[in-house]
Amino acid sequence: MSTLLQHAQIDWDDQGRPHSRQYDDVYFAVNEGIEETKHVFLGQTRLAERFANLAPHTSLVIGETGFGTGMNFFCAWQLFDQHAHGDARLHFVSVEKYPLGHADMVRAVRLWPELAAYTEPLLEQYVAVHPGFQQFTFADGRVTLTLLIGDVLDQLPQLDAQIDVWFLDGFAPAKNPDMWTPELFAQLARLSHPGTVLGTFTTTGWVRRSLVEAGFAMKKVPGIGKKWEVMSGEYIGAMPNPGAPWYARPAATPGPREALVIGAGLAGSTSAASLARRGWQVTVLERHAVPAQEASGNPQGVLYLKLSAHGTALSQMILSGFGYTRRQLERLQRGRDWDACGVLQLAFDSKEAERQGKLAAAFDRDLLQALERTEAEAIAGVGLPAGGLYYPEGGWVHPPALCQQQLQHPRIRLLAHQEVIELRKVDDLWQAWAGERLLASAPVVVLAAAADVRRFAPCAQLPLKRIRGQITRLPSTDGSRALRTVVCAEGYVAPPRGDEHTLGASFDFHSEDLTPTVAEHQGNLALLEEISTDLAQRLGVAELDPGQLQGRAAFRCTSPDYLPIVGPLADDQAFAEAYAVLGRDARQVPDVPCPWLGGLYVNSGHGSRGLITAPLSGELVAAWVCGEPLPLPRAVAEACHPNRFGLRKMIRGK
Ligand SMILES: Cc1cc2nc3c(=O)[nH]c(=O)nc-3n(C[C@H](O)[C@H](O)[C@H](O)COP(=O)(O)OP(=O)(O)OC[C@H]3O[C@@H](n4cnc5c(N)ncnc54)[C@H](O)[C@@H]3O)c2cc1C
Ligand SMILES: C[S@@+](CC[C@H](N)C(=O)[O-])C[C@H]1O[C@@H](n2cnc3c(N)ncnc32)[C@H](O)[C@@H]1O
């Protein structure tokens, strides 16, 4: 599977139509394009009727092969707007091997000014579109787009979803034989349920026969324009195998759409937002007076991508999470709440230089670029000891601003000064208690209290570690304001927010005390010297009295495999009993349902990169709760699943 992104190579012909150099075919006909989409995809799948029939709080899931310019998506969204109930939702999942670059996307969609209400929001969020799953949120969450960037034959097998309607697009089978394969048809069937419908422009005989073999009843119907006939189909095959029970979806929680979220840091506020956008009434319980007072309370955090050239689960999570966070940030005020000033990771020793070399070969230049020292200095605006990897779309964020923005939803109620001590389940409701005081109750609870989730019995066994970290606030000077990008070595320093730079951060695996220490300020200043002696001089570090430095300390909360812990929770004891056989034979998949603690979810373990992983994890929690397509590959969601530890323990006998 490639991590290297290739954009669409487009030539614009004399009629203004985009023509694919990769496939030697046009994306759409300028005049008939929209009519063709309406006939082939919307008409054949009776989409208007399906939208009109959606009950409040239900969603329709459309799957598409070939996002291209997004025309099918925009037209479907417009139809949804016209026909669906205000509380219904649309989830559009589309695969694209060669996404359009931003400039081509602008040029393509501006061909349809009548669709501007749909195309402009996409353009605003069309940033950080990199390989893998890329989630977008539109219309205050009524519409979700999950773009799977990569070859359809690599991407669809990773999708965990049930598709209601397929738009089988992609260039013509004769121009694109690699896509129209039995593997593709098998995936369409795997992701369908009886009643799933399909529309496609092609009537090629072997495509029709292959779809029939895969379980679709197909028929030819009259076409439009130059196409005499097109095809529609309905899935009449078997339901797919749901997979291992410990990762299968828990049943939907009965009762009102009400949820409690415990903790108002990045994980809690983004989980609350993801649920509220899906129509849930959310009560957030936070022990402090205001949100973001613990790990999420630093003045500046860095969008720092620690990637692997091998496409590990963590690396995939980082790329998807980075994209999602970046798109959320577009709604915040640049300069005050965040800045896309880029992030430079210095090649500070030979090992790091070697690691960076591999990454530069594995990823595209829109994501990261290897720079020589002089190039790096020109971008950073200060003298540097080495070149490094530059992430042009990275930057810094004021995490409390992101938390506040996420919590500003009319369906979210924040209860401050409320420390939850205990959870109890009574009938179908989870109750949050502080001693003898019942604070709130709801059928669904998301535990987002960082390492303190272990206080609650269902999370007591989660292997979470707290690592103290301290940042130093440095007043900017005329000279230091030349710094134009975040620069990282073992530590990091950001361009000023207001008139202060944030310099971070120490790691202490033992201390439980959060009082800032002089020693750690000194340690941070040493990290700054490694980053840039020039910048240290500009900041007048030699004259600073470390005893007078300002800063703050908090705990990171880390899991042993550095992946966050996100998903539904099961009863430990019952889990161990249900799957005890795995201790003897790890290859078995016992047909025993997982003993879920119905309605209980966790979102924690974001370590040193919560800005990148927590917002997408909010979407992941919401997808678990609402039974929606997962915003991450199935294997990545499994790698983040709370059950992974219980499972490993059983298999290794520890
Ligand atoms: C020094 C330092 C530097 C960092 N730098 C970066 C960086 O540059 N980039 C990056 O991406 N990440 C960085 N991180 C990591 C990032 O800050 C965290 O991953 C993220 O903030 C975790 O968010 P959270 O919501 O899980 O935890 P928290 O922000 O700690 O939120 C947990 C919340 O739960 C509340 N709570 C806990 N128990 C209860 C209870 N029983 N009842 C009610 N409320 C409760 C707490 O008060 C708190 O508000 C840094 C962390 C530290 C400490
Ligand atoms: C005709 S265009 C799609 C038009 C699009 N649905 C629209 O509304 O504009 C076909 C798209 O399929 C994509 N594609 C072709 N083969 C693919 C594959 N194997 N995997 C993923 N995408 C593919 C192409 O890159 C192209 O963007």
Residue-wise pLDDT tens digits, 108-120: 999 899 999 999 9
Average pLDDT of the chain is 95
pLDDT tens digits for 476-509?
999 999 999 999 999 999 999 999 999 999 999 9
Rounded CA Rg of the chain: 26
The pair of three-digit structure tokens given for residue 247, joined into one six-digit string = 């990762």
The pLDDT score that the predictor gives to residue 14 is 82
Say how many Å lie between the CA of residue 451 and the centre of ligand 1: 9
Ligand 1 site, residue 286, Cβ cutoff 6 A: yes
Ligand 1 site, residue 471, Cβ cutoff 6 A: yes
pLDDT tens digits for 587-641?
888 889 999 999 999 999 999 999 999 999 999 999 999 999 999 999 999 999 9
Handedness of CA 398, 508, 609, 492 (dihedral sign): positive
Mean pLDDT of 427-439: 96
| Entry pTM | 0.97
* pLDDT of residue 29 exceeding 80: no
What is the rounded distance in angstroms from the CA atom of residue 482 to the CA atom of residue 484?
6
Q: Looking at the CA of 285, which ligand is closest?
A: 1
Ligand 2 site, residue 70, Cβ cutoff 6 A: yes
Q: Which strand ranges, in their side-by-side order, compose the sheet holding 437-442?
A: 422-426, 429-434, 437-442
Q: What is the pLDDT confidence band of residue 15, given thresholds at 50, 70 and 90?
A: confident
Which of 238-258 are b and which e, b meaning 16 or more Cβ less than 10 Å from the residue's Cβ? eeeeeeebbbebbeebeeebb
Ligand 1 atom closest to residue 607's alpha carbon, by position in its atom list: 19
**Nearest residue to 363 via CA among 11, 25, 6:** 6
Q: What is the pLDDT confidence band of residue 654, given thresholds at 50, 70 and 90?
A: low
Percentages helix, strand, coil for the chain (3-state, rounded to 5) are 35, 25, 40
CA 193 to chain centre: 26
Mean pLDDT of 178-195: 97
* pLDDT of residue 559 exceeding 70: yes
CA atoms within 13 A on the CB side of 574: 11
* pLDDT of residue 434 exceeding 90: yes
Say how many Å lie between the CA of residue 165 and the centre of ligand 2: 17
**Closest Cα to atom 10, ligand 2: which residue?**
170
Mean pLDDT of 436-463: 97
Angle at 397 between CA 391 and CA 398, to 5 degrees: 165
Q: What is the pLDDT confidence band of residue 31, given thresholds at 50, 70 and 90?
A: low
Specify which residues 302 forms β-bridges with. 396
Mean pLDDT of 52-60: 96
State the helix-helix crossing angle for 399-407 and 313-329, rounded to 10 degrees: 70
Ligand 1 site, residue 556, Cβ cutoff 6 A: yes
Secondary structure string (H, E, C) spanning 421-460: CEEEEECCEEEEEECCEEEEEECEEEECCHHHHHHCHHHC
Secondary structure string (H, E, C) spanning 291-354: CCCCHHHCCCEECCCCCCCCCCHHHHHHHHHHHHHHHHHCCCCECCCEECCCEEEECCCHHHHH
* pLDDT of residue 447 exceeding 90: yes
Greater confidence, 51 or 32?
51
Ligand 1 site, residue 469, Cβ cutoff 6 A: yes
Say how many Å lie between the CA of residue 394 and the centre of ligand 2: 28
Ligand 2 site, residue 71, Cβ cutoff 6 A: yes
In one letter, which amino acid is 181?
T
The pair of three-digit structure tokens given for residue 480, joined into one six-digit string = 């230091």
**Nearest residue to 370 via CA among 383, 350, 351, 355:** 355
**DSSP tally for the chain: helices H, then strands E:** 19, 31
The pair of three-digit structure tokens given for residue 127, joined into one six-digit string = 């940033």
In one letter, which amino acid is 397?
V
Say how many Å lie between the CA of residue 612 and the centre of ligand 1: 13
Ligand 2 site, residue 202, Cβ cutoff 6 A: no
pLDDT tens digits for 509-550?
999 999 999 999 999 999 999 999 999 999 999 999 999 999
Mean pLDDT of 574-580: 94
The pLDDT score that the predictor gives to residue 1 is 59
Pocket test for ligand 2, best of 7, 65, 107 (most atoms within 8 A of CB): 65
**Closest Cα to atom 5, ligand 1: which residue?**
301
Q: Kindly report the number of other CB atoms within 10 A of residue 438's CB atom.
A: 12
Mind listing the domains of the chain with CATH numbers?
10-235 (3.40.50.150), 258-294+401-464+560-652 (3.50.50.60), 343-392+465-555 (3.30.9.10)
- Burial zone of 642 (CB within 10 Å; 0-12 exposed, 13-18 middle, 19+ buried): buried
**Closest Cα to atom 4, ligand 2: which residue?**
68
